[in-house]
Amino acid sequence: MKSPKEISIEKKILDALVPGSVSYLTAELLMADTEIQLMQEYANTVSIVRLGYNDHGPVHMRKVTLNAVTMMNLLHEAGIKPNIEQENSGNLDDALTAVILASFLHDLGMAMGRQDHELYSMSLANPIIDRILAQVYPSSIEKRIAVRSVALEGIIGHMASRRIHSIEAGLILVADGCDMEKGRARIPMVLNTEAKAGDIHKYSANSIEKVAIHKGVHKPVRITVDMSSDVGFFQIEEVMLPKINMSPVKPYLELYAGLQEQEPKKYL
């Protein structure tokens, strides 16, 4: 059964899409799919209970989807075309479809562990993507091939461990990096109280109060991060920035971060 938070994020995703569009239908199909829901939940069980990591489950994958769709819409407002559109393989709706598929499925591989989970995610997501695309593009194998390729690029590239080249895949990187508010670290903070290597990630994430994505002043997209403690800068500089630096959307981003009630630091 879905949590109220999952349902709330799903509504926001659909509100950001055009009713009746291919991307809207894709989002509805993903959200209604029992197998996907259970795969996301099990990935989260492995991540949190077995490995002691933060949320990599249904809420996280929905938040990444919302972040990516929000940024894609802001880029479109500014006249920035995604690669599917640039290369005449489809339109904005098709690019959004690829982004939604990638972000909604990008962490399925956590069900098998952290190392190389992006590769396992791609393997697990591939048949699901084919199944969804057969329903939304029943008469266009060309669209299915283009959208699937870009979606898989987004999944395999989301760890910033390999170079990616499309705007769409670049959005997954940044959208994933933006999901770092303290609620994501709450459960592992409670379950794992014994000190161990890597705890800086847990505590830095727990100091992030809010991440907002909105229209930029000098560039199409502005990301602002409010934190309660200086340790949050670790999350910005060691987690978020490496992802942004590997992303083709970096030229279109403004990034500000700082302690609440203080002047934020400009990173981009």
pLDDT at position 47 is 85
Residue 29 main-chain phi, psi, to 5 deg: -65, -40
pLDDT at position 185 is 52
- Say how many domains are in the chain: 1
Give the CA count within 13 Å in the CB-facing half-sphere of 201.
14
pLDDT at position 183 is 54
Domain that holds residue 248: 4-266
- Tell me the CATH number at 242: 1.10.1300
pLDDT at position 55 is 75
pLDDT at position 53 is 75
pLDDT at position 38 is 97
pLDDT at position 197 is 43
What tokens does 160 get? 């910033």
- Using CA atoms, how far apart are residues 28 and 33, in angstroms rounded to an integer? 9
Give the CA count within 13 Å in the CB-facing half-sphere of 205.
23
pLDDT at position 189 is 45
One digit per residue, pLDDT tens: the chain, 268 residues?
A: 899 999 999 999 999 999 999 999 999 999 999 999 999 999 999 888 888 877 788 999 999 999 999 999 999 999 999 999 999 999 999 999 999 999 999 999 999 988 899 999 999 999 999 999 999 999 999 999 999 999 999 999 999 999 999 999 999 999 999 998 875 554 444 445 454 444 445 567 788 999 999 999 999 999 999 999 988 898 899 889 999 999 999 999 999 999 988 899 999 9
DSSP summary character for residue 16 = T
Bridge-based pairing state of the strands 265-266 and 221-227: unpaired
Q: Which residues pair with 257 in a beta bridge?
A: 225, 265
Using an 8 Å Cβ cutoff, are 104 and 65 in contact? yes
DSSP summary character for residue 80 = P
Among 142, 158, 54, smallest CA distance to 104 is for 158
Using an 8 Å Cβ cutoff, are 73 and 165 in contact? no
- Using CA atoms, how far apart are residues 215 and 201, in angstroms rounded to an integer? 28
- Using CA atoms, how far apart are residues 206 and 183, in angstroms rounded to an integer? 7
pLDDT at position 39 is 96
Q: Give the relative orientation of helices 34-45 and 58-77 as an angle to the nearest 10 degrees.
A: 110
What does pTM read for this prediction?
A: 0.91
Among 115, 101, 98, 121, smallest CA distance to 43 is for 121
